[in-house]
Amino acid sequence: MQFFGRLVHTLNSVTQMFTNPYRVKEVPAAEYAAHTCLRKEGRVALYKNGPARSWDCLLVNPQSPHVAFRLFQLDNEADALVHFEQYAGQLRPFYESSLQALSLEDLQQLSDCFRNHPTWSSAHVAVEIGRRENFRHNHVLRCVNSTDSEDGCTPLHLACRKGDMECLLELLDCHARVDITDRNGETVFHYAVRGNSPQIIEVLGRTPTAGLDHLSHEGLTALHLACQLGKEDMVRSLLKCQASCSIMGTLGYPIHTALKFSQKGCAQAILEADASQVRSKDPRYEATPLHWAKKAEMTRLLLEYGSEVNVTSRTADMALHIAVRRGRFDCAMVLLTHGAHTNARGQDGNTPLHLAMKHDHLDMIKAIVVFGGDVEIPNDFGETPGLLAARSSKGANRKVLLDLLQTVGTERCHPPNPDSPSLAPSAASFLEGQPSS
């Protein structure tokens, strides 16, 4: 019977190893009295378990000497020795500085964290499992600014990612720095923006720091990122901390980012803080935010804050040119009703009407004509809007455009011929596909 008992015990042990050798289990300390202790460091010991043919790592508790926690049970001695060194070193600050003895659940969390994140410092681990009481241990204090993690983040980055205000405050009390960047060049402010707590940003920004306006490798400050993500509350908290609206990123200033992603609340918050941003120009096109507006509500907002409706970009285009080229009819209507010049020549000498004709956008064409668009103006290639209409218009639009051009009295849609100007065909005959008479 004794033999069968040992056999069952061995089979159970082997089965357990194959299921999860790292499952923490409470075991009687006396069970290991007859086993060989290979290594011991602090309260952690490694035993060779002969009957089970395994190497078992135990954590003993001086207050409860009769029981221990088995941290792992492995069938390979080399692996067991490596994990023993890891566990013995990383567990020490936690069992030495915890107010109460570590529970089985605590140890399982720690064990899983050690294995899932082998490069993390003890401070990272303390943040991950929310054990702020351990930050005062000397070993943890030495690691509060460690970047020994997979993505180069500090424990403070991790606290921001998790939104753990208590750990964050404890880390700041332990002199954690807010200007360290991870491998993507992001500070704790970038991490906080991705979270859900504007209060974390305000805590981080209590004292001035260069980290607040730091550009990541993607060319984004935390304010750019908040605008990209549409987080108005984060934008307002960053501005409350004196985040700069005038840091040039890859696309432009934060307000350009807000316009690119049509985040009205973010744009409005920036304009409330610094109305001059309405005149800021991006680095590529020297375009104002008005050029970037994709929706009518964004266009109206910028005009309310004094945006110049007819200011041009590096390519000589006004906001109206861009709205027409992109097919943003609602934006174009707002611009037209606020005095946009319908006959201004932009890139390649094209007027907004040239662009509308190229894209065969009938409603846009009608609106521009109603607001004074001239169908006779040639571009740099000598093309009139009528000629472009003849080339681009198809289907039902063709007949409507024919009638429209007849109504406004178009006489020319071919490039002007200096030798025989009287031979230029009429727009009507050209649109009909007939030779001129």
Query: Which amino acid does the sequence have at 208?
Result: P
188's tokens? 């704790």
pLDDT score recorded for residue 87: 96
Rounded to whole angstroms, what are the CA distances from 263 to 229, 287, 301? 8, 18, 11
How many structural domains compose the chain?
1
Q: Which of 421, 375, 399 is nearest to 436 (CA)?
A: 421
Q: Both tokens of residue 280?
A: 């800021």
Strand, coil or helix: what is 210?
Answer: helix
pLDDT of residue 408: 64
Identify whether 236 is part of a domain.
Answer: no
CA 403/CA 406 separation, integer angstroms? 5
CA distance to 12, 31, 191, 215, 221, per residue, from 218 (Å)? 54, 57, 14, 8, 9
What local confidence, expressed as pLDDT, does residue 51 receive?
86
Residue 261 counted as domain residue: no
Cβ neighbours around 77 below 10 Å, total: 13
- The verdict on residue 259 lying in a domain is no
What pLDDT is attached to residue 75? 93
Show Cβ contacts of residue 313 under 8 Å, excluding neighbours closer than 6 positions.
Answer: 281, 285, 286, 287, 288, 291, 322
Is residue 211 in some structural domain? no
Domain-embedded: residue 382: yes
Chain centre to alpha carbon of residue 26: 44
Per the structure, the complete domain to which residue 361 belongs is given by 315-437
pLDDT tens-place values along the chain, 437 residues long: 455 555 545 545 544 445 799 999 999 999 998 899 999 999 999 999 988 899 999 999 888 889 999 999 999 999 999 999 999 999 999 999 998 889 999 999 999 999 999 999 999 999 999 999 999 999 999 999 999 888 999 999 999 999 999 999 999 999 999 999 999 999 999 999 999 999 999 999 999 999 999 999 999 999 999 999 999 999 999 999 999 999 999 999 999 999 999 999 999 999 999 999 999 999 999 999 999 999 999 999 999 999 999 999 999 999 999 999 999 999 999 999 999 999 999 999 999 999 999 998 989 999 999 999 999 999 999 999 988 887 776 766 666 766 666 666 554 444 444 443 433 343 344 334 433 33
Q: Is residue 413 part of a domain?
A: yes
Model confidence over 138-148: pLDDT tens digits? 999 999 999 98
Does residue 34 form part of some domain? no
Q: Domain containing 406 — which CATH number?
A: 1.25.40.20
pLDDT at residue 64, as a whole number: 86
* Summary count for the chain: helices (H), strands (E): 22, 5
Question: Taking every pair of C-alpha atoms in the chain, what is the biggest distance, in angstroms?
Answer: 120
Residue 399 lies in a domain: yes
